[in-house]
């Protein structure tokens, strides 16, 4: 199975979706056979607990569909638990400085690259035996770290955040960013557009990808033209709701 880092850094458009509600046994195969490249699996706004996440990650592994996991926060405990249950990529909310990004990398990497607490022979290494140094090196190599750029302070330091060793990509949290900039939901506002341009420039300079959620395929195509590499098309709740609303409306209009 390709790791989330492999997918994120392989170049070209990568298409995914946001999952915050339907952590069901078939979800991995459903999304894989829809042609997706990755999934953004969310804890911050979903209410998923650790047990649910542990099962959901197995569903996506079975379908060979890499996941970028957003923990409920960026405390060490939140990050380490997700990594220990098998998350290969983390997207951390509200990262606002390079120092904060460096701290996140340090806490998510094993020695000699960081200070993550060591537990081997558990889910993250598939309960396999093996040489300690090889396991630590493999985890350090394969763990992807994506700071969420979604604050005005984060924009001020976005170039420095992108340049931190161990940061593998940036994810734009467009709604929170617009709110932090004082223009809630105004994605055509000059302040917001300037912030996006600065984020893309920072990622390009650092040679790392950018991810963002798109409302639909049309918006996703526009975002990709502007430099977004990982496009998550909408999310499980909204896509189902939209499809049913459109079908119900069409049915009512036709009878």
Task: Name residues whose C-beta falls within 8 Å of residue 190's C-beta, 6 or more positions apart in sequence.
Answer: none
Distance of CA 165 to the CA centre of its chain: 18
Measure the CA angle with vertex 230, ends 112 and 87; round to 5°.
40
CB–CB of 92/108 below 8 Å? no
Residue 199 and residue 203: Cα distance in Å, rounded?
6
**Residue 90 forms beta bridges with which residues?**
69, 145
Q: Of 45, 124, 174, 224, which one is the catalytic site residue? A: 45
**Residue 68 forms beta bridges with which residues?**
40
45 given a catalytic annotation? yes
Query: Which of the residues are catalytic?
Result: 45
């Amino acid at each position: 199975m390709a790791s989330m880092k492999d997918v994120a850094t392989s170049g070209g458009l990568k298409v995914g979706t946001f999952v915050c509600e339907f952590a069901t046994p078939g979800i991995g195969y459903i999304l894989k056979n829809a042609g997706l490249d990755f999934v953004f699996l969310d804890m911050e706004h979903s209410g998923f607990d650790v047990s649910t996440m542990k099962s959901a990650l197995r569903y996506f592994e079975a379908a060979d569909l890499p996941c970028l996991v957003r923990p409920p926060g960026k405390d060490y405990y939140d990050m380490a638990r997700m990594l220990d249950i098998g998350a290969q990529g983390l997207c951390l909310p509200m990262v606002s400085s390079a120092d904060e990004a460096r701290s996140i990398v340090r806490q998510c990497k094993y020695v000699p690259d960081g200070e993550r607490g060591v537990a081997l022979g558990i889910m993250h290494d598939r309960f396999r035996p093996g040489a300690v140094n090889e396991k630590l090196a493999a985890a350090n190599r394969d763990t992807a770290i994506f700071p969420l750029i979604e604050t005005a302070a984060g924009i001020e330091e976005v170039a420095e955040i992108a340049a931190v060793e161990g940061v593998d990509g940036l994810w734009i949290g467009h709604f929170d960013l617009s709110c932090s900039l004082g223009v809630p939901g105004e994605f055509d506002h000059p302040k917001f557009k300037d912030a996006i341009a600065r984020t893309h420039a920072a990622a390009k300079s650092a040679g790392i990808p950018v991810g963002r959620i798109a409302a639909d395929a049309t918006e996703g195509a526009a975002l990709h033209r502007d430099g977004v590499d990982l496009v998550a098309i909408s999310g499980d709740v909204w896509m189902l709701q939209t499809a049913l609303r459109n079908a119900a409306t069409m049915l009512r209009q036709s009878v």
